[in-house]
Structure 1
Amino acid sequence: MGEIRELVLKYALINAYTHRGKANPKAVIGKVLGENPELRKRAKEIIPPLVNEVVNEVNSLSLEEQEAKLREIYPEFFEEKNEKKEEKKGLPPPLPKAERGKVVTRFAPNPPDGAFHLGNARAAILSHEYARMYDGKFILRFDDTDPKVKRPEPIFYEWIKEDLEWLGFRIDEIHIASDRLEIYYDYAEKLIKMGKAYVCTCEPEKFRELRDKGGIACPPQGGAS
Structure 2
Amino acid sequence: MEVEELIWKYALANAYAHKGKANPKAVIGKVLGENPVLRPKAREIIPLVNEIVERVNSLTPEEQGAKLREVYPEFFEEKKGKEERRGLPPLPRAQRGKVVTRFAPNPDGAFHLGNARAAVLSHEYARMYDGKFILRFDDTDPKVKRPEPIFYEWIKEDLDWLNFRIDEIHAASDRLELYYSYAEKLISMGKAYVCTCPPERFRELRDRGLACPHREEPVEVQLERWRKMLNGGYREGEAVVRIKTDLKHPNPAVRDWPALRIIDNPNHPRTGNKYRVWPLYNFASAIDDHELGVTHIFRGQEHAENETKQRYIYDYFGWEYPVTVHHGRLSIEGVILSKSKTRKGIKEGKYLGWDDPRLGTIRALRRRGIRPEAIRELII
Match for residue 179 of structure 1? 174
Normalising by structure 2, we get a TM-score of 0.32
Residue 92 (structure 1) shift: 3.2
2:137 and 2:95 map into 1 onto residues whose CA distance is 26
Match for residue 117 of structure 1? 112
When structure 1 is superposed on structure 2, of 128-137 and 158-167 the one drifting more is 128-137
Match for residue 92 of structure 1? 88
SS at 1:141's partner residue?
strand
1:111 and 1:191 map into 2 onto residues whose CA distance is 29
Residue 104 (structure 1) shift: 1.3
SS at 1:149's partner residue?
coil
Residue 102 (structure 1) shift: 1.7
Q: Which amino acid aligns with 1:221?
A: P
Q: Is the 8 A contact 2:194 2:214 kept in 1?
A: no
Match for residue 163 of structure 1? 158
1:136 and 1:165 map into 2 onto residues whose CA distance is 18
**How big is each residue's C-alpha offset from its partner over 1:12-33, in whole Å with a ceiling of 9 and x where there is no partner?**
xxxxxxxxxxxxxxxxxxxxxx
Counterparts of 1:119-158 in structure 2, within 5 Å, are: 119-158=114-153
Q: Which amino acid aligns with 1:104?
A: V
Residue 158 (structure 1) shift: 0.6
Quick check: 1:199 aligned with 2:169?
A: no
Q: Is the 8 A contact 2:96 2:129 kept in 1?
A: yes
Normalising by structure 1, we get a TM-score of 0.52
Match for residue 45 of structure 1? none
Residue 142 (structure 1) shift: 0.7
1:159 and 1:149 map into 2 onto residues whose CA distance is 20
Residue 156 (structure 1) shift: 1.0
Find the structure with the greater CA-based Rg: 2
Match for residue 317 of structure 2? none
Q: Which amino acid aligns with 2:104?
A: A
Q: Is the 8 A contact 2:100 2:131 kept in 1?
A: yes
Q: Is the 8 A contact 2:107 2:148 kept in 1?
A: yes
1:143 and 1:124 map into 2 onto residues whose CA distance is 14
Counterparts of 1:43-122 in structure 2, within 5 Å, are: 87=83, 89=85, 91-113=87-109, 115-122=110-117
**How big is each residue's C-alpha offset from its partner over 1:74-103, in whole Å with a ceiling of 9 and x where there is no partner?**
xxxxxxxxxxxx758265332322222222
User: Kindly tell me: are residues 212 and 168 of structure 1, through their superposed partners in 2, closer, same or farther at Cα, counting changes over 3 Å?
Assistant: farther
Match for residue 219 of structure 1? 211
Q: Which amino acid aligns with 1:154?
A: P
Residue 162 (structure 1) shift: 0.3
Identify the structure with bigger relative contact order (alpha carbons < 8 Å, sequence gap 6+): 1
1:164 and 1:176 map into 2 onto residues whose CA distance is 16
Residue 149 (structure 1) shift: 1.7
Residue 161 (structure 1) shift: 0.1
May I ask how many residue pairs the two structures share in their alignment?
A: 137
Match for residue 287 of structure 2? none
User: Kindly tell me: are residues 190 and 206 of structure 1, through their superposed partners in 2, closer, same or farther at Cα, counting changes over 3 Å?
Assistant: same
Q: Which amino acid aligns with 1:152?
A: P
Residue 139 (structure 1) shift: 0.8
RMSD between aligned residues: 2.8
2:94 and 2:191 map into 1 onto residues whose CA distance is 27
2:118 and 2:166 map into 1 onto residues whose CA distance is 15
Q: Is the 8 A contact 2:205 2:212 kept in 1?
A: no
Identity %: 79
User: Kindly tell me: are residues 129 and 211 of structure 1, through their superposed partners in 2, closer, same or farther at Cα, counting changes over 3 Å?
Assistant: farther
SS at 1:221's partner residue?
coil
Runs of 4+ in 1 over 4 A off after TM superposition: 206-213
User: Kindly tell me: are residues 200 and 134 of structure 1, through their superposed partners in 2, closer, same or farther at Cα, counting changes over 3 Å?
Assistant: farther
The answer for unaligned runs of 5 or more in structure 2 is 1-81, 220-380
